[in-house]
């Protein structure tokens, strides 16, 4: 820090001028340090999230390429395979956090990406129903800890006021992967028959190799922690943190935590007692609506990501056209996600923003369910399904941030509930209800309506608790 070179008896105005200059210098330096985090940590986690989603959801494109017929499985088996995948994520989520405690995010995150990339690649060898169910289960087990570990890592590098926007950007990887996947599928399916491989085999092979390459890149470049911001295997990363940057990072870490939760930046201390942290989070009944809201809404995204290309193909489009058109709704979701994240940061009204996003999605579902049986023409029906896909996830990053901001201990922020919803949602679209899935849409409306009630209830709980705290002379406890 720049030290004052004042005269022996400086007057007040001189001291005030120096103080202002020092504050400006500190703000500029902190901005540069934060920019380095934005260019090193965030893009690598975003890349991992993108390949995570590609490997999880490229089955949708594979189904339009004859995958189900070639290995002799029906829609019931596909739904069961997806359920087993999400069950695997749930089963290993807590053990994954324990491993995270032992070895740290800089090693655990790329290790996970590498393993699920290898498993995803081996899907080219699937031949029957048993193979499919086993590999989907293994894929879920391998993916179990990636999102919690990444969100925890972001919370150690960014302060609370910066977190919502970065979480939104991070989830761009998921939603961006969902947008890219059908486009890649449309292009890769053109390789059908080359070198004796089916189009769906090329999808699993090319995207799996891409995931393995991403894992190696993350291993080489991801900084270890704010206290030691250099990659594990390299002397320095592409973005180098100076000694001044390290001082600023340590100051930011101390400043962002309350006195009761000042944890060390080292993985061994910052990630202590994951089981007790999860227990503490789940036993706080004031946050129960959060844990119910997430699976209610997110469950409706699961069937959309799996069957939208097939639905569009049933309208009369070719398999290549169907995959390309599916990308439109997924792409429109990106500006909506960013919009609600921006509103959340701009207004600091996290709960009201979540309520607004869920309300928009509910209205879209109701309108589309009413119109689908009556509209004529494949383009009109395609437009309705596109709007549904665009609004399906606009609430998610804001809600995730709202929950994390109300977890006083950073280690509690790894508790996730959305995968339970994805597992249940895998059964919403049934073969007998295809291809329009009117009954499935009714189920989705009921789930999202229930989520809206939970979001309003969560906001009311926080407002009442905060009001009581202010009457008792305490500071505000929860972010509403």
Summarize pLDDT for 198-232 with one digit per residue, the tens.
999 999 999 999 999 999 999 999 988 888 888 87
pLDDT at 451 over 90: yes
Lowest-pLDDT choice from 2-6, 82-86, 254-258, 323-327 = 2-6
Beta bridge partners of 231: 223
- Phi, psi torsion values for 299, nearest 5 degrees: -60, -30
Residue 113 pLDDT:
94
Of the candidates 298, 338, 470, the residue with the CA atom closest to the CA atom of residue 480: 470
pLDDT at 260 over 80: no
Residue 255 pLDDT:
62
Q: Is 241 helix (H, G, I), strand (E, B) or coil?
A: coil
Summarize pLDDT for 133-163 with one digit per residue, the tens.
999 999 999 998 898 889 888 888 888 777 7
What number is the average pLDDT over the span 185-210?
Answer: 92
- Kind plus residue range of the DSSP H or E element containing 162: helix 160-188
Average pLDDT value over all residues in the chain = 83
Lowest-pLDDT choice from 3-17, 196-210, 420-434, 456-470 = 3-17
Residue 440 pLDDT:
94
479's tokens: 């972010």
pLDDT at 274 over 80: no
Q: Cβ distance 203 to 189 under 8 Å? A: yes
Residue 278 pLDDT:
60
Residue 252 pLDDT:
73
CA distances from 75 to 82, 237, 470 (A): 11, 46, 54
Residue 90 pLDDT:
85
Residue 18 pLDDT:
40
Pick the CATH number of 282-479 from 1.10.150.120, 3.40.50.300, 1.20.1250.20, 3.40.190.10: 1.20.1250.20
Dist CA 183 CA 157 (whole Å):
33
- Phi, psi torsion values for 391, nearest 5 degrees: -95, -5
Neighbours of 462 (CB within 10 A): 22
On the question of a common fold for 28-234 and 282-479, the answer reads: yes
Dist CA 390 CA 338 (whole Å):
12
Neighbours of 262 (CB within 10 A): 11
Q: Output the pTM of the full model.
A: 0.80
Dist CA 354 CA 394 (whole Å):
9
Dist CA 110 CA 115 (whole Å):
9
339's tokens: 């919009």
Q: Cβ distance 149 to 112 under 8 Å? A: yes
Please, which residues have CB within 8 angstroms of residue 275's CB and are 6 or more apart in sequence? 94, 98
What percentage of the chain reaches a pLDDT higher than 90? 42
Residue whose pair of structure tokens reads 């060898």 in the numeric block: 125
Dist CA 248 CA 265 (whole Å):
13
Angle at 364 (CA atoms; ends 360, 365), nearest 5 degrees? 120
Residue 279 pLDDT:
65
Residue 259 pLDDT:
39
Q: What confidence tier does 358 reach under pLDDT thresholds 50, 70, 90?
A: very high
Of the candidates 221, 220, 267, 265, the residue with the CA atom closest to the CA atom of residue 247: 265
Summarize pLDDT for 69-90 with one digit per residue, the tens.
999 999 999 999 999 998 888 8
Of the candidates 119, 111, 148, the residue with the CA atom closest to the CA atom of residue 136: 119
Domain ranges of the chain: 28-234, 282-479
What percentage of the chain reaches a pLDDT higher than 70? 85
Dist CA 131 CA 467 (whole Å):
56
Residue 97 pLDDT:
79
Q: Is 5 helix (H, G, I), strand (E, B) or coil?
A: coil
Q: Cβ distance 47 to 100 under 8 Å? A: no
Phi-psi region of 456 (alpha: psi -120 to 50; beta: other; left: phi over 0): alpha
Residue 256 pLDDT:
57
pLDDT at 275 over 80: no
Superfamily of domain 28-234: MFS general substrate transporter like domains (1.20.1250.20)
Summarize pLDDT for 93-140 with one digit per residue, the tens.
878 878 887 888 889 999 999 999 999 999 999 999 999 999 999 999
Dist CA 426 CA 443 (whole Å):
12
Q: Cβ distance 476 to 469 under 8 Å? A: yes
- Phi, psi torsion values for 228, nearest 5 degrees: -140, 75
Neighbours of 317 (CB within 10 A): 19
Q: What confidence tier does 370 reach under pLDDT thresholds 50, 70, 90?
A: very high
- For residue 36, say if its preceding peptide bond is cis, omega within 30 degrees of 0: no
What number is the average pLDDT over the span 181-203?
Answer: 91
Of the candidates 208, 185, 209, 211, the residue with the CA atom closest to the CA atom of residue 198: 185
249 versus 454: which is more confidently predicted? 454
Please, which residues have CB within 8 angstroms of residue 266's CB and are 6 or more apart in sequence? 225, 227
H-helix segments, 315-377: 319-347, 350-371
What number is the average pLDDT over the span 435-451?
Answer: 94
Please, what's the largest Cα pairwise distance for the chain?
88
pLDDT at 410 over 60: no
């Amino acid at each position: 820090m720049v030290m004052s070179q004042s005269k022996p008896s400086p007057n007040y105005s001189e001291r005030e001028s120096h103080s202002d200059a020092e504050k400006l210098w500190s703000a500029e330096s902190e901005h540069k340090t934060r920019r380095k985090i934005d260019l090193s940590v965030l893009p690598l986690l975003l890349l991992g999230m993108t390949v995570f989603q590609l490997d999880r959801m490229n089955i949708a494109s594979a189904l339009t390429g004859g995958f189900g017929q070639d290995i002799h499985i029906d829609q019931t088996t596909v739904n069961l395979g997806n359920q087993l995948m999400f069950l695997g994520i749930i089963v290993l989520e807590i053990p994954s956090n324990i491993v995270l405690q032992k070895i740290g995010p800089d090693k655990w995150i790329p290790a996970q990406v590498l393993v699920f990339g290898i498993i995803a690649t081996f899907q080219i060898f699937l031949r029957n129903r048993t193979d499919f169910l086993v590999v989907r289960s293994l894929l879920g087990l391998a993916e179990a800890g990636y999102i919690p570990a990444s969100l925890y890592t972001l919370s150690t590098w960014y302060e609370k006021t910066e977190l919502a926007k970065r979480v939104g950007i991070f989830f761009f990887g998921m939603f961006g992967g969902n947008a890219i996947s059908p486009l890649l599928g449309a292009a890769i399916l053109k390789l059908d028959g080359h070198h004796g491989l089916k189009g769906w085999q090329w999808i699993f092979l090319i995207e799996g190799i891409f995931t393995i390459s991403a894992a190696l890149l993350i291993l080489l470049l991801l900084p270890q922690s704010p206290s030691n911001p250099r990659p594990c295997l390299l002397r320095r990363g592409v973005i180098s943190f100076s000694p001044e940057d390290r001082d600023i990072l340590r100051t930011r870490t101390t400043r962002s935590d309350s006195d009761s939760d000042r944890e060390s930046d080292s993985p061994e201390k910052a990630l202590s007692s994951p089981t007790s942290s999860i227990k503490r989070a789940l036993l706080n009944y004031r946050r129960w609506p959060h844990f119910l809201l997430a699976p209610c809404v997110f469950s409706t995204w699961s069937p959309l990501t799996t069957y939208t290309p097939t639905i569009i193909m049933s309208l009369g489009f070719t398999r290549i056209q169907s995959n390309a058109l599916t990308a439109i709704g997924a792409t429109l979701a990106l500006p909506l996600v960013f919009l609600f994240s921006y509103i959340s940061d701009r207004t600091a009204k996290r709960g009201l923003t979540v309520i607004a996003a869920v309300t928009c999605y509910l209205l879209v579902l109701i309108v589309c369910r009413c119109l689908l049986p009556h509209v004529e023409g494949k383009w009109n029906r395609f437009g309705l399904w596109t709007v549904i896909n665009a609004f399906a996830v606009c609430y998610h990053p804001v809600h995730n941030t709202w929950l994390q901001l109300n977890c006083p201990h950073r280690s509690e922020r790894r508790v996730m509930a959305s995968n339970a919803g994805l597992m249940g949602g895998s059964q919403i679209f049934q073969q007998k209800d295809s291809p329009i899935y009117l009954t499935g849409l009714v189920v989705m409306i009921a789930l999202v309506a229930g989520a809206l009630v939970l979001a309003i209830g969560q906001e009311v709980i926080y407002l009442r608790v905060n009001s009581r705290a202010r009457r008792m002379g305490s500071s505000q406890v929860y972010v509403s």
